[in-house]
A = this chain, B = another copy of it.
């Protein structure tokens, strides 16, 4: 039975990326009082930027789904560095951000790119609530961004 998050990602047929390096004077993850707080993640894989643009313009809804999946894999890559799967109580809440063209309205489908991944890889521990917010700007014109909090078993 898989005891690391990395192994569980691989069992789902996916690969955990290298955790992105923070773009400022902060930590990718803090764990205090048994709760973990992951810094905002973007669709970056091995240092390469993907899915820059707006949903409904340069990016399709399916692009957005895949972009959210990369963000979620980055979240898991960061958690994996510090927490074993057995020690994870579960994901609490995800905050999903997107940039979109005026008439595009498929945000829930895009954010499922992250939600589906957490549910598939972490099963019951992946059950989460979520917010989704259409914002004006993200660094490097990324189309989406994602943060998450999680709880450690006591």
A4 on interface, CB distance cutoff 8 Å: no
Nearest to A98 among chain B residues (CB) is: B137
Docked-complex contact B138 and A33, CB < 8 angstroms: no
Q: Identify which of A32, A33, A111, A134 gathers the most chain B CB atoms within 10 Å of its CB.
A: A32
A13 on interface, CB distance cutoff 8 Å: no
> For chain A, which range describes its interface: under 10, 10 to 19, 20 to 34, or 35 or more residues?
35 or more
A109 on interface, CB distance cutoff 8 Å: yes
Interchain CA distance A147-B129 in the complex, whole Å = 10
A28 contacts which of B39, B109, B129, B135 (Cβ < 8 Å)?
Answer: B129
Nearest to A106 among chain B residues (CB) is: B139
Interface residues of A in 1-43 (CB under 8 A from B): 23-30, 32-35, 37-40
